A and B are shown apart, each in its own frame.
Chain A
Amino acid sequence: MNIVTLITQLTEVILAVVAAPLLMGWVNQCRAWLQNRRGPGVLQPYRQIRKLFHKDAVIAAQASPLFRLVPYVQFASMCLAAAIIPSLWTGLPFAVAADTIALVGLFATARVFLALAAMDIGTAFGSMGARREMLVGFLAEPALLMVFFTASLISHSTSLPTIVETLAQGRLAIYPSLAFAGVAFLMVLLAENARIPVDNPATHLELTMIHEATVLEYSARHLALIEWSVALKLFNYTCIGLALFFPWGLATGAHSLRDLLLAIPITGLKLLVAGFGLALIESLNAKMRIFRAPEFLASAFLLAVLGLLVHLLLGS
């Protein structure tokens, strides 16, 4: 690992952490536009996070140290995930340490800690949220793994940069298996990031919440970190999707400075389009009943398996 790759690695993580709330703001702004509302502006998540950092934290008397620890675990997990996802370029020295399976494990770790913290206080809403979050989680993870396996079969590697390099450098061939995997991944993305139709991030109805119910007891800096990691999670997932299914424009192989710099606006543009697409999906759909979520995620799993089969049978 030389100093240049270290710098590119760090730049990539820092850019992800800084830009993640912007993506969230963009999605919310698009949603507002699609609903004929003016919207709070794309910078609103930053204002929110700043406001929360300036408040005094209120913590329940019976909270254990775990409750205080979890926001940091969340944020750290998402930063680590950002370090191994080739969002701008594939030459990521840290990525050698963790492949796609480890990445899924990283997301799972974050979720388990969040569920533990939700149950820690002992309120009805926390336990209810934790229960629902785990229900969504244990159905989404296999589907996500299947998506990664489909992509791994094409590149014969589970390392994310290798997969992306293969896909990006390969001839402009169309992989039918990836089409199935792409739809499956989109469904997992919606479920994992608590978006409509699985969860409603904008709701104030405590009984319908999934993700929000798990963080009801958090305030101030803890809540700021959680909101930031939620934004970062969405950013990470979107970048995984873009890297797997639309890898063009990423700086691959031996980077020249020009490639590196060019990758930033291209990725930015792709994120804008993806954010708008997400807002469109959320505006067109209603939230489904919570017991439809298993059906929804089972379909995602099925599609991912189909992708795998298509690859094995057709060899493409």
Chain B
Amino acid sequence: MDCMPFALDLETLPGAVPVRRAVVSSDKLRSVCTAVHESGGLLHALWGCDERDRKGGYLLRVALQDAAGLLLLELPMNAAQPCFPTLADIFPAAERMQRAVYDLLGLRAQEGDTRPWLRHASWPADCFPLRRDYDDRGIRAAQNESYRFVRVTGDGVHEIAVGPVHAGTIEPGHFRFSVVGEKVLRLEERLGYTHKGIEKRFETQPLMQGQRLAARVSGDSAVAFSWAYCMALEGLCGITPPPRALWLRALCLERERIANHLGDLGALGNDAGFAVGLAQFSRLKEDLLRANQRAFGTRYLMDALAPGGIRCNLDEANRRDLLATVPPLVAEISTLHEIYDDHAGLQDRFTGTGRVEPALARKLGLIGLAGRASGQSWDIRCDHAYAPYDKLAVRMQGRLQGDVAARVAVRFEETLESLRLCQMLLENLPGGELQLSLPPPAKRLGIGWIEGWRGPVLIALEPGEDGLIRRCHPHDPSWQNWPVIEHAVMGNIVADFPLINKSFNLSYSGQDL
């Protein structure tokens, strides 16, 4: 986007990914957002900070994504009446983030939905846990509050309420379907059941160990979040980790991607009643996790990364071992790909189900893997190739159909692409140091931005006094993608919802925080 007409005072933040920052007024916030939207950009994250102890008042931070990288807008608000103009009419994805900002900090969007999002009556409506003067002693849970779901009326319309406790072992979320017969007229999601106060918890963590909590924001994206955290911190300290550490981080990230894609491909087969798919893909995933255990000492690569580098080395024997597993895995996945493609029953279930047209995806800001299956070609590994991806020339995968079949196809292709990357990473792994010690960080904002398996994850980190974290905001792409599912199921039949939901496979924990 061309920022010239807005006379923004842009400051480039140091770090591995391009981030520009500007302080804006209310009016300018909306006009810049509109301009970014019109030039093809999208909203990435929206969060608030309590700055009353330093500059006075509150701060709203809006991260926009355009072709040049991240554009971070900061809107200062006074302490007495903190409110900001709504962005939900420009970026529909902003709505839930704005509701969450109110629940946690009491910053109110001037228009739009005022129902609570993260606050499920576990604390009173006039308490805001992310404020710095919040004291949880003496806080009682509020009385059971009712939540107004949007009612659909008409001849033969009835509601099916599903969750938050489900028949399978999955994360909790409530889904309210308004249906006629089997056809879904409207779906309304209610999430926030796994809110556990991660952002508040960050404020008590030592800066040098925050990556451990970041890895646990959403367990399936442990590497992505911990890398984003480390990237933010290293940007603040002004260092670049040694090449070997970066290459090993990329190896971990790609293995995390492969493991999740394998799990999802199996689960998608199973949800369509094709249990053979689940059995085969589960076996492949388990083999991969065991190889992780042998090579890195952790199955899900939890705590593999550390600020300044990487904690676990890969010795020569393990390097060869991992390298040897790549070709047979490629062969097996290709065989299963053929089986999925040739199976008439599966293709009948996948094709045309849960379609998100590229135009709708663009309007709603669909991102990540699901976005690429709907023609939204964003991938930080290609767009702003941070090291070591600048040397790997990642091939972006994509589809235009936007249905379950497209998301399955993108998963297959990304898995094979990740295996190609793994092979390159293992073959050309540089030697040298694993970890640098960090100089004291600058007292400012650091941004980490990593393309996880689900989509881009963002960490915004500010150091505080005594080596603690002042504020850390982790952002999972599920925030943007959950509302899209409400649109994806419209006009489909109720029985296809689990399949559509699984084809996105969004995180509950990652967005409930």
Does A287 touch B at the CB level, under 8 Å?
A: yes
Consensus secondary structure, chain A interface? loop
Q: Quote the shortest CB–CB distance from A199 to chain B (angstroms).
A: 9
Does A44 touch B at the CB level, under 8 Å?
A: no
Contact A289 B279 (CB under 8 A): no
Segment at the A interface, from B194-202, B389-397, B490-498: B490-498
Contact A286 B349 (CB under 8 A): yes
Contact A205 B271 (CB under 8 A): yes
CB neighbours (8 Å) of A283 from chain B are 275-276
Contact B272 A287 (CB under 8 A): yes
Does A128 touch B at the CB level, under 8 Å?
A: yes
Q: A288 CA to B271 CA in the complex, in Å?
A: 11
Contact B280 A36 (CB under 8 A): yes
CB neighbours (8 Å) of A289 from chain B are 348-349, 493, 495-496
What is the chain B residue whose CB lies nearest that of A200? B273
Q: Which residues between 39 and 63 of chain A lie within 8 Å of chain B, taking CB atoms?
A: none
Q: A287 CA to B350 CA in the complex, in Å?
A: 11
What is the chain A residue whose CB lies nearest that of B496? A289
What is the chain A residue whose CB lies nearest that of B280? A36
Partner of B498, one of A125, A202, A207, A290: A207
Does B162 touch A at the CB level, under 8 Å?
A: yes
Does A222 touch B at the CB level, under 8 Å?
A: no
CB neighbours (8 Å) of B349 from chain A are 286-289
Does A2 touch B at the CB level, under 8 Å?
A: no
Does B346 touch A at the CB level, under 8 Å?
A: yes
Q: Quote the shortest CB–CB distance from B318 to chain A (angstroms).
A: 27
Does B160 touch A at the CB level, under 8 Å?
A: yes
Q: Quote the shortest CB–CB distance from A168 to chain B (angstroms).
A: 36
Does B294 touch A at the CB level, under 8 Å?
A: no
Q: Quote the shortest CB–CB distance from B343 to chain A (angstroms).
A: 6
Contact B273 A197 (CB under 8 A): yes
Interface size (B, Cβ < 8 Å)? Answer: 33
A206/B166 contact (C-beta < 8 A), A196-B273, A286-B273 known: yes
Interface size (A, Cβ < 8 Å)? Answer: 28
Partner of A205, one of B158, B161, B168, B343: B168
Contact B343 A286 (CB under 8 A): yes
CB neighbours (8 Å) of B160 from chain A are 124-125, 128, 207
Contact B182 A290 (CB under 8 A): yes
Partner of B493, one of A35, A285, A290: A290
Q: A208 CA to B162 CA in the complex, in Å?
A: 12
B159, B162, B280, B495 interface centre (most CB from chain A within 10 Å): B495
Q: A151 CA to B343 CA in the complex, in Å?
A: 35
A36/B283 contact (C-beta < 8 A), A124-B160, A287-B349 known: yes
CB neighbours (8 Å) of A35 from chain B are 275-276, 278-280
Q: Quote the shortest CB–CB distance from A93 to chain B (angstroms).
A: 42
Q: Quote the shortest CB–CB distance from B260 to chain A (angstroms).
A: 20
Does A171 touch B at the CB level, under 8 Å?
A: no
Q: CB-CB contacts of B485-505 with A at 8 A, as 1s and 0s? A: 000000001111111000000
Q: CB-CB contacts of B180-192 with A at 8 A, as 1s and 0s? A: 0010000000000
What is the chain B residue whose CB lies nearest that of A197? B345
Q: Which residues between 230 and 273 of chain B lie within 8 Å of chain A, taking CB atoms?
A: 269, 271-273
CB neighbours (8 Å) of B317 from chain A are none
Does B167 touch A at the CB level, under 8 Å?
A: yes
Q: Quote the shortest CB–CB distance from B77 to chain A (angstroms).
A: 43
B166, B343, B345, B346 interface centre (most CB from chain A within 10 Å): B345
Does A204 touch B at the CB level, under 8 Å?
A: yes
Partner of B345, one of A125, A216, A285: A285
Contact A286 B345 (CB under 8 A): yes
CB neighbours (8 Å) of B280 from chain A are 35-36
Contact B159 A207 (CB under 8 A): no
Q: A37 CA to B279 CA in the complex, in Å?
A: 7
Does A233 touch B at the CB level, under 8 Å?
A: no
A128, A207, A216, A288 interface centre (most CB from chain B within 10 Å): A207
CB neighbours (8 Å) of B343 from chain A are 286
Does B193 touch A at the CB level, under 8 Å?
A: no
Partner-A contacts on B (CB < 8 A) = 158-162, 166-169, 182, 269, 271-276, 278-280, 283, 343, 345-346, 348-349, 493-499
Of the A-B pairs whose beta carbons lie under 8 Å apart in the complex, a sample of 8, sorted by A's number, is A205-B271, A208-B271, A208-B499, A216-B167, A285-B273, A286-B345, A287-B273, A287-B274
